[in-house]
Structure 1
Amino acid sequence: MSTWTIILAGGSGSRLAEATSGVKKQFLHYLGRPLLWHSAATFAAMPSIEGIVMVAPAEELETARALFNECAAQSPLGVPVRWTVGGRRRQDSSAQGLASLPAECRRVLIHDAARPFVSAPLTQRVLDALECFDGVVPGIPVTDTIKQAQQDLVSTTLPRHELFAIQTPQGFRTAALDQAHKTVADHGIDVTDDASMLEYSGGRVGVVAGERSNCKITTAEDLRMLTASPSTRIPCTGWGYDVHRYGAGRPMKLGGIPITNGPEIIAHSDGDVLLHALMDALLGCLGAGDIGEHFPDTDPRWDNANSSALLTDVLDWCRFNGLILRHVDMTVVCQTPKLQPWKHQIRKTVAALLGLAEHHCNLKATTEEGLGFTGHKEGIKAIVLVTGERETPTHESTFPESR
């Protein structure tokens, strides 16, 4: 199903104007590149995203395009990028983006350029949930008590367990969002996000778990999030190794990909030896033990657990502890099956799960020339090396309580 992303970079940035000397927030720099570039690079690295539409202010369209192309010359995105001008309201800019999509686009993501920290796993959650809804939004459960008031008088306390702070990217079936735009335009309705249009027009909108790291640069205080410098980070490496025995058990999966006609795997979870080694390598970057400590095979919760879902948890922990992935090198060792038919798909899928470009995610397959347990076709093993950067740790790695 053809999927494109619209990145809204057409805002005026009025709330930040004084703090930025009039520079609009989409043109502010983070790690040497403008905000309007960062999320585009994340989306372009995902196999499911076929192209990007950038929406910029009419008076600064060429400036935005030039800055963007300068970044793309250094780090090619590998997907087509279209440009259009924004409108007075957010929904006007969104409509301009929709009009620029190719006719075959069936799913669309709408994202704010002022959220430069968006991740591939979050985006994939939105797209996966879109199978069941007309639109999907990522949300963070509200932890404060929220009261509704008129002037200085509180009228009611809202049920906190039903409230979410909504983020982008928001995902939509393109036809449903297009119809929602027409409906609110016909009724003269102003909205603050695209999902509101779908709600107003009767569409079904689902919510998935957002990420607290997916912050939006809105106020002067938020500018502190853009001051991270490479000099405040240290390089780190993590090494992962895992082995599984062949035998009656689980169908073989590697990197989340089913291996047709491969030997069955004896395992408590789904037995994805490659993702298990990858998770151990990531935990190694954090100095946080191994997957056996976090997902023990004595716990029934992990019986036949999907390793891709466990990897999402580990990646959330990595972001929570300030880890930025740079490169992953993976090796699978087995005498059987021959992995050449699946290598490209495995590499592409793992890169998408990690939010890395494919050229920063390497996969090798080899044998041990008939030696040892792999050579005797008794099992399979995987070795993974992860390189990254993290802020200098001042305490032991900690994990959110979301599990």
Structure 2
Amino acid sequence: MPDLTLVMLGAGSSSRFNRRVKKQWLRIGDLPLWLFAAQNLQQHLPFARTIVTTSPDERFYAEKFSDAICFVEGGETRQASLKNALLHVNTPYVLVSDIARACIDQALLMRLLDAKESADIVVPYLNVVDTVVYEHQTIEREDVKLIQTPQLSKTEVLRKALETPIAYTDDSSAIKAIGGSVAYVLGNANAKKLTCQEDLASLACLMPPSSDHFTGYGFDVHAYEEGKVMMLGGVEVHPDIGFKAHSDGDVAIHALIDALLGAAGAGDIGELFPDNDLRYKNIDSKILLREVCSFLAKVGFTITHCDLTVMAEFPRLSGFKDPIRFCLADILGIAPVHVNVKATTTEKLGFVGRKEGVAVSATATLKYYDWKNR
């Protein structure tokens, strides 16, 4: 049984990278960066367990990618996330790495492993080749080390070191602060941390995202309810006959949300917005759609097209199709021509034909965010 657990830290906000997409979710081929980075380490070393920290609102989606990884919700800081992860570590040693360091090679890992019994923590570093000035004074560059991850620690020592309100930027600083021993091994310039978009050009191990497109299908129905405004596709189409629903009942947006989530493999509207949650009581469905669009952008998708078919005997919708298209296009962030809305009856058949309610089917198409050509 291996005596080493891998912890991949990926719960950060990624604010320095891009306001639209989180670097953790950039696609490397078909893999999100966090999974690419984890698999890169797994192919070089045997681990008893792999733990990945994620932000709370992304954990459900990350879990859809693997049932062999333990996913843990991160905290407000790197240190808090690591403390959460350590609750699930049962091995004497733990290797802690940043998802943003995706190009780590086997030679670096072997140097860490070979030195694991020599100190409480083993740390990779790079030498400084330029002149170094600190507080207006030139200092000896031979005394300066650029610290990298992954760092290999004795688990119990690391746990003890993190029981402090002081925030440390890496594990070795925390262990050194409690008198623990630190061993340094030569790092690797290729193990550069992805911080800003400009860093992508220097990370040769990252292949561009797949050019595949993904299509999802959604379907929803709602019965009529008198005394309620009818909202359809974000547009008011009748003042006093609406839809019976927990939210505002916008059946078109609900079908579209399911189509978008389906294309991303992210479940359905009920998983994200349960109908027994009071936060969504009578909520404007446009708010829900904006949340879904924001989520899809964060996890690395671009919306390219959607198509809706509204099945209704009442009301007549010919005058509302264009307002719906323009409303949805604005929320989705795509051109109105890429939003298609069709309206039809069911020739008096079924519950729609009996004027008991409205049904809507929707399809949506996504592609990966193309970071390579940005």
Deviation at 1:47, TM superposition (A): 4.6
Corresponding residue number in structure 2 for 1:83: 71
**How far apart, in 1, do the equivalents of 2:3 and 2:207 lie?**
37
Counterpart-to-counterpart distance in 2, 1:101 and 1:139: 25
Counterparts of 2:54 and 2:198, CA distance in 1:
24
Q: Secondary structure at the match of 1:132?
A: coil
Letter matched to residue 121 of structure 1: A
Structure 1 residue 117, shift from structure 2 partner: 0.6
Go from structure 1 to structure 2 and tell me whether the alpha carbon gap of 1:47 and 1:194 turns closer, same or farther (over 3 Å shift): closer
Equivalent of 2:99 in 96, 113, 116: 113
Length-normalised TM-score, structure 1:
0.49
> How many Å separate the matches in 2 of 1:15 and 1:211?
23
Specify the code of the residue in structure 1 equivalent to 2:113.
L
Which consecutive segments of 4 or more residues in structure 1 shift more than 3 A?
A: 225-231
Deviations 1:23-48 (A, max 9, x none): 11111122332110122112222354
> Match of 1:173?
154
8 Å CA contact 2:18–2:196 kept in 1: the answer is no
Task: Flag structure 1 segments of 5+ consecutive residues without an equivalent.
Answer: 73-79, 232-403
- One-letter identity of the residue aligned with 1:13: S
Deviation at 1:95, TM superposition (A): 0.6
Counterparts of 1:6 and 1:178, CA distance in 2: 13
Q: Percent identity?
A: 32
1:41 alignment partner, one of 39, 42, 45? 39
Of 124, 147, 172 in structure 2, the residue corresponding to residue 138 of structure 1 is 124
Question: Corresponding residue for 2:171?
Answer: 194
Q: Which of 83, 90, 94 lines up with 1:95 in the alignment? A: 83
- Aligned in 2, Cα 1:141/1:13: closer, same or farther, shift over 3 Å? same
How far does the alpha carbon of each residue in 1:71-92 deviate from its partner, in whole angstroms, 9 at most, with x for none?
Answer: x8xxxxxxx4211001111110
Separation in 1, partners of 2:95, 2:207 = 30
Shift of the 129–88 alpha-carbon distance from structure 1 to 2, 3 Å rule, reads same
| Amino acid corresponding to residue 199 of structure 2 in structure 1 | D
Displacement of 1:161 in angstroms is 0.5
Match of residue 194 from structure 2: 217
**Alignment: residue pair count:** 207
Q: Which letter does structure 2 place at the counterpart of 1:132?
A: S
Choose which of 145, 148, 164 in structure 2 pairs with 1:164: 145
Distance 1:176 1:229 in 2: 37
Deviation per CA, 1:140-199: give whole Å up to 9, x if none: 1011112122xxxx1x222200211111110001111111112xx1xx211111111001
Residue in structure 1 matched with residue 3 of structure 2 by the alignment: 2
Asked if structure 1 preserves the Cα contact closer than 8 Å seen for 2:54 and 2:72, the reply is yes
Matches within 5 A, 1:2-401: 2-18=3-19, 22-66=20-64, 68-69=65-66, 80-102=68-90, 105-149=91-135, 154=136, 156-182=137-163, 185=164, 188-225=165-202, 229=207
What CA distance in whole angstroms lies between the structure 2 residues aligned with 1:189 and 1:38? 32
Distance 2:178 2:125 in 1: 21
Partner amino acid for 1:157? T
Q: Secondary structure at the match of 1:58?
A: coil
Q: Return 5+ residue gaps in structure 2 as ranges.
A: 210-374
CA contact (8 A) 1:139 1:167 kept: yes
Q: Secondary structure at the match of 2:159?
A: helix
- Counterpart-to-counterpart distance in 2, 1:108 and 1:224: 31
SS of equivalent residue, structure 1 residue 16: coil
Aligned residue type for 1:181: L
* Aligned-residue CA RMSD (Å): 2.0
In our comparison, the structure showing a higher alpha carbon Rg is 2
Q: Is the 8 A contact 2:28 2:208 kept in 1?
A: no
